Amino acid sequence: MKITRKILISIVISVALILSNIFLFGHVTGTSYAQISPLEVIKHSVIIPEEFYVPYQGNNQKDFPNGFKLAVGSGITVKSVNSDGSIEFYFITDRGPNTDGPKYKDSSNERGGIIFPVPTFQPQIALGILKNGKVEIVETIGLKNKEGEPITGLPITPGLIGATNEIALTENLQIIGYSNDGLDPEGIALDHEGNFWVCDEYGPFVAKFDKKGKLLKKYATGNGLPEVLKYRIPNRGFEGITVAPNGKIYIAVQSVLNIEEKTAVTAQFTRIVELDPLTGKTRMYAYPIDRENYNSPKDAKIGDIFAISNDKLLLIEQGKDKEKKMRNIIYLVELQGATDISNLKIDGKEPEFITDKNKLSTIKFASKTMIIDLRANGWKAKKAEGIAMLPDGKTIAVASDNDFGITIDVQDSENQDTEVLDYTLYPDGSLKYNNKVAKPVFSNRSQP
């Protein structure tokens, strides 16, 4: 099997878009704001020196002679603004180079196959400096467990908290196995002591790391986080995390919950979790998705969040609309007065089951105000995955991520117009298409 870097002309490996003068917030509390125009948009490509490339030892050295460029745009937060005007950002990678593989089926189950060309990849925090019109990565910090051992991005053993019903495969379609420390990071924030808070979409998990990337504490559903979060759509756990000025942690679930495999098509909201790290107490709020814009509630996705005060957040909502066009919107979300839905039931069920607006009126949702339509202001990337506000209170940084930009093409002389997901892999190594043995050739593909 061959893999290749996906070529997207309008998107570099990772992009930070600096959106200046969108609106003016109070510098610390964010209690007042006013829209300002015109909007100034500045785009910066993130430069990845070769020393930070991910080493590749697979079958296709000629395609990746220097390895993979580090894809650092899964989350962003500001470290500092320096006296010389340079700005330091922390970025975070996701679970590493991977791409969809064929489904895997054994005697008991069918799972999604994910190809990991670098199965030992260690998710990393990257320090980037914006200076003289460019952002350059200057340092990386690998994530480690409590024993100081490297964490990988491999999926978690089926049956355990955080399992996604995926199976990790090599390029040669050999089973890699699982990692119960596995993380798929999707957001990063700094607390007042300089510790990193990272959210993950496997568990979903929230993990606190020290300045050197060593795990200090990990929160999981039923173990520090509300049990209901176990109903996240697989691989759509937490997608955004932020630390408020008062030290509380806010984490956003990427998509609506799918309780009892039913509510992905009924839920009118996704959940924002409030975690007090001092007491361990949690609260949950309903963020109303733009339901009328999507064919199904599950099509709405949160990109990231950032706390501008103790009860106001910037939030990215995105996804393909009813016409299959991407939308990427930044909202101002206000939590003050919103209902804590932690233990709330309507007609004996979680409110995700309810579509009757009269019944849902018993819940006060978080309020939202659109701040900017990213696509209307030059955004070209499919996803906006990181957001942070600079200390000036009026400049927002938004980061995109291309998930390491690898893809697989399929050539099958007996079956036309197929994709890798159309095939099923069996324990004996055979591949089938429509229950018939197939012999596809997987090769390079460039996408304009």
Q: pTM of this prediction? A: 0.91
Burial class (CB in 10 A: 0-12, 13-18, 19+), 443: middle
pLDDT at 28 over 70: no
For the CA atoms of the chain, what is the radius of gyration?
22
Which pLDDT tens digit goes with each residue over 404-446?
777 787 888 899 889 999 999 999 999 999 999 988 876 533 2
CATH code that applies to domain 4-408 = 2.120.10
Please give the residue that has the higher pLDDT: either 230 or 400: 230
Amino acid (one-letter) located at 2: K
Per-residue pLDDT tens digits for 338-349: 999 999 999 999
Query: Between these two residues, 341 and 400, which has the higher pLDDT value?
Result: 341
Distance (Å, whole) CA 441 – CA 439: 7
HSE-up of 444 (CA within 13 Å, CB side)? 10
Is residue 141 scored above 80 in pLDDT? yes
The percentage of the chain sitting over the pLDDT mark of 90, rounded to a whole number, equals: 73
Q: What pLDDT does residue 272 have? A: 98
DSSP conformation letters of 382-398: S---EEEE-TTSSEEEE
Structure tokens at 148: 């100081």
Q: How far is CA 161 from CA 71, 220, 388, in A?
A: 27, 8, 30
Question: How far apart, in Å, do the first and last CA atoms of the chain sit?
Answer: 22
pLDDT digits (tens, 9 = 90+) for 234-250: 999 999 999 999 999 99
Look at residue 164 in the predicted model and tell me its pLDDT. 94
DSSP state of 298: G
What are the Cα distances from residue 190, in Å, to 235, 249, 282? 24, 10, 19
Residue spans of beta strands (DSSP E) within 338-390: 367-373, 386-389
Distant-in-sequence, close-in-space partners of 42: CB < 8 Å, separation ≥ 6: 17, 18, 19, 20
* pLDDT at residue number 37: 52
Of 36-40, 156-160, 272-276, which range is least confident?
A: 36-40
Q: What is the pLDDT of residues 345-396, one digit of tens each?
A: 999 999 999 999 999 999 999 999 999 999 998 888 899 999 999 998 888 9
C-alpha count within 13 angstroms, C-beta hemisphere, residue 312: 16
Residue 64 confidence (pLDDT): 79
Triad 74, 80, 84: Cα angle to 5°: 125
pLDDT score, position 5: 39
Distance CA 253, CA 273 (A): 8
How far apart are the C-alpha atoms of 261 and 409, rounded to whole Å?
A: 32
Task: Give 37-40 contacts, CB < 8 A, sequence gap 24+.
Answer: 39/372, 39/377
DSSP string, 408-425: -EEE-TTS-S--GGGEEE
pLDDT, the chain, mean: 88
